Amino acid sequence: MTNVAQPFVLTLTCDDRAGIVAAVTSQLHVLGANIVESSQYWDRATNRFFMRIAFNPSGETSADLIERGLAPVLGQFEMQGRLIDCRKPQKIVIMISRFDHAFLHLLYQIRVGWLDAEVVAVISNHDDSRETAAWAGIPYHFLPINRENKKKQEDRIFAIVQETEADLVVLARYMQVFSDDIAGRLFGKVINIHHSFLPSFKGARPYHQAHEHGVKLIGATAHYVTADLDEGPIIEQETERVSHAMSVEDFVAAGRDIESRVLARAVKRHLEARVMLNGRKTVVFA
Ligand SMILES: Nc1nc2c(c(=O)[nH]1)N[C@@H](CN(C=O)c1ccc(C(=O)N[C@@H](CCC(=O)O)C(=O)O)cc1)CN2
ipTM score assigned to the predicted complex: 0.90
Question: Mean pLDDT of all residues in the chain?
Answer: 95
**Which CATH architecture is the domain 90-284 placed in?**
3-Layer(aba) Sandwich (3.40)
- Catalytic one of 228, 230, 250, 257: 230
- Tell me if the pTM is above 0.90: yes
Confidence of residue 92 (pLDDT cuts 50, 70, 90): very high
Closest Cα to atom 25 of ligand 1: 175
Structure confidence at residue 58 (pLDDT): 84
- For residue 230, the ligand 1 atom closest to its alpha carbon is 7
How many A from CA of 202 to the centre of ligand 1?
Answer: 9
Mind listing the pLDDT tens digit for each residue in 16-40? 999 999 999 999 999 999 999 999 9
Cβ atoms within 10 Å, residue 163: 10
Residue 227 in contact with ligand 1 by CB distance below 6 A: yes
**Which CATH architecture is the domain 8-85 placed in?**
2-Layer Sandwich (3.30)
Q: CATH 3.30.70.260 in the chain, residues?
A: 8-85
Cβ within 8 Å of residue 111, ≥6 positions away = none
Mind listing the pLDDT tens digit for each residue in 95-142? 999 999 999 999 999 999 999 999 999 999 999 999 999 999 999 999
Q: CATH 3.40.50.170 in the chain, residues?
A: 90-284
Active-site annotation holds for 230: yes
**pLDDT at 1 > cutoff 60:** no
**pLDDT at 2 > cutoff 50:** no
Contacts of residues 147-150 at CB distance under 8 Å and 24 or more positions apart, as own/partner, are 150/179
**pLDDT at 3 > cutoff 70:** no
